[in-house]
Structure 1
C-alpha cells in the first residue's frame, strides 16, 4: 500500500515532469535559434568580407592600367626622340618592374617592396627628364617590413608627374618620406608644384579617393587618412595608416 508521503511525491512529479519537459524543449529551441543566428551572422560577415575584398581588388586594378599606360608613354617619348641608349635602359628597367609586380599577387606588400617598385619607376622617369628631375627617398629602418596597400606611394608619385612635371617646364623636385609615428605609418610625398601649377584638382581627387577607399577596406575599423596640402612652396600629400608587420 502506497503511503501518503509517496503518493504526494508521485503527484508532484507528475505535475513537474511536463513543466520540466516544456522548459527543456524551450531551452533547446532558444539554444538552436541562437546557434542559427550565430551561423547566419558568420555567413553575413564572410559575405561582407568577400564583397570588400572584391571591391578592394577592383580598386587595385583601376590603378595598375593607368600606371602601365603612363610608363609606356614615357618609354615611347624616348623612342620618338631617338634616344636609343636611354630607351634600351628604360625597357630593361621596365621589364624588371613588371617581373617584380607579377611575382606576387597579394592584397598587401611591404613598404620595402613598394619603395623598390617606385625606384624602378623613377629610374625610367629620370632617363626621360634627365637633369630636370631631382628626387629623394627617405624611410625609417623599422618601417621597411611594415605592410602597405600596393600602389599607394606609387599613385602619389605618379600624380606628381602627371599633374605637374609633365605640364610645366623647369626643375622638378620630388621627395618621398616614410616614417613610423607611434603605432601608425606616415607616408609623405612632396613635389615642387605650387598652387598655381596644379589645375587638375578633379583628377587628383579621384586618385586620392581611390587610395582612401582601399585604406578603409584593408584596415577596416582602424584609423586611416589621406590629405592634400597645397602651398606656395609645393604640393604635399600625407597618408596615415596603422603600423602592421608580417609577423
Structure 2
C-alpha cells in the first residue's frame, strides 16, 4: 500500500518532470544556437582575414608593373646611347633584382631586404645618371630585422626619379634615412628637386596611396602615416609605422 508521502512525491515528480524536460530542451536549444553563432563568427573572421589578405596582395602587386616599366626605361636609354658596358652591367643588376624579387613572395619583408632591393635599383640609376646622381643611405642597425611592406622605400625613391630627377636639370641628390624613434619606424626619403605632388597624398599617384592602404592592412590596430612636404630645399616624404621584428610578425603578433 502506497503511503500518502510516497504518493505526494510521485505526483510531484509527474508534475515537475515535464517542466524539467522543457527547461532542459530550452537550455540545449540556447546552447546549440550559441555554438552556431560562435561558429558563424569564426567563419566571418576567417573570411574577413582572407579578404584582407587578398586585398593586401592585390595592392602589393599594383606597384610592380610601374617599377619594372621605369627600370626598363632606364636600361633602354643606355641602349639608345650605345653605352654597351654600362648596359651589360645594368642588365646584370636587373637580373639580380629580379632574382631577389621572385625569391621573396611574402606580404612583408625586413627593412634589410628592402634596402638590398633599393641598392640594386639605385645602381641601375647611377649608371644612367652618372655623376649627376648622388645618393646617401643611413640606417639604424636596430631596424634591419624589422618588418616593412615591400616596395615602400622603393616607391618613394622611384617617385623622386619620376617626378623630379627625370623632369628637371641639375644635380640629383637623394637621401634615405631609416631610424627607430620610441616604438616606431621612421622612413625618410628626401630629394633636392621639389616635385610638387599634392601634399594631401590623394592626388600623388598610385604609389603613395598604395603605401597608405597597405600600411593600414598590415598594421590595422596601430597608428601609421605618410607625410609629404615640399619646400625650396626639395621634397621630403616620411612614412611612420610600428616597430615589429619579423620573427614576431611571423608568429602572428601583428598579422593582417
TM over 0.5, yes or no?
yes
- 1:219 & 1:233 partners in 2: Cα distance? 32
Q: Give the 3-state SS of the residue equivalent to 1:2 in structure 2.
A: coil
Match of 1:82 in 2: 82
Q: Give the 3-state SS of the residue equivalent to 1:210 in structure 2.
A: helix
Measured against aligned partners, the alpha-carbon deviations of 1:123-176 in whole angstroms (never above 9, x if no partner) come to: 000111111111111111111011111101100100000000000000011111
Match of 1:242 in 2: 242
Structure 1 residue 246: deviation in Å? 2.2
| Runs of 5+ consecutive residues of structure 2 not aligned to the other structure | 248-256
1:178 and 1:187 in contact (8 A); partners too: yes
TM-score by length of 2: 0.91
- 1:203 & 1:158 partners in 2: Cα distance? 16
RMSD of the alignment, in Å?
Answer: 1.5
Q: Give the 3-state SS of the residue equivalent to 1:216 in structure 2.
A: helix
1:163 and 1:200 in contact (8 A); partners too: no
Measured against aligned partners, the alpha-carbon deviations of 1:29-63 in whole angstroms (never above 9, x if no partner) come to: 11111111111111111111111111111111110
Measured against aligned partners, the alpha-carbon deviations of 1:189-240 in whole angstroms (never above 9, x if no partner) come to: 111123xx53677763432111111111122222111111111211111111
Match of 2:196 in 1: 198
Match of 1:21 in 2: 21
How many pairs does the alignment contain?
245
Superposed structure 1 runs of 4+ greater than 3 Å apart:
199-203
- 2:17 & 2:158 partners in 1: Cα distance? 77
| Runs of 5+ consecutive residues of structure 1 not aligned to the other structure | none
Match of 1:38 in 2: 38
Counterparts of 1:50-129 in structure 2, within 5 Å, are: 50-129=50-129
- 1:198 & 1:164 partners in 2: Cα distance? 9
